[in-house]
Amino acid sequence: MQDTHSKLFGYLLWIFGFTGAHRFYYGKPITGTIWFFTFGFFLIGWIVDLFLIPSMDREADTRFESGPTDYNVAWLLMTFLGILGAHRLYQGKWLTAILYFFTGGVFLLGLLYDFWTLNEQISERNRQFR
């Protein structure tokens, strides 16, 4: 069994879970977006997620491809430096990293796209190394 995602990192993101960060991290962009716009589904969903993180972690571990590009590092970079393109630079996407740097994550729309697709981007990159 591969360990692509971390429960510890998931719980750290859960602290800000009313924004949906932990749901995006575990590859659940639709509910992540709902959590973002409803303040953690009116905080009720946020509290329930405290108990659901272990199962979300297991599901993410089986769904996404492990490899040299680490999910935790990429998500950390995107969460705190995403507007500057640090997560894209980490993945070797130099041109879009520079574009993000000068355009604020392509005016935040590119950053939103990356919240929805970062796990798949990393899985694809890790598949290329196999």
Q: What would the pLDDT profile of 78-116 be if each residue is shown by its tens digit?
A: 999 999 999 999 999 999 999 999 999 999 999 999 999
Distance CA 20, CA 32 (A): 4
User: How many domains is the chain built from?
Assistant: 2
Tokens 């639709």 map to which residue?
Answer: 30
Let me know if residue 46 belongs to a domain: yes
Whether residue 1 lies inside any domain: the answer is no
Do residues 25 and 59 both lie within one domain?
yes
Task: Give the chain's mean pLDDT.
Answer: 95
In a domain, 45, yes or no: yes
* Domain extent for 75: 71-128
Structure confidence at residue 1 (pLDDT):
65
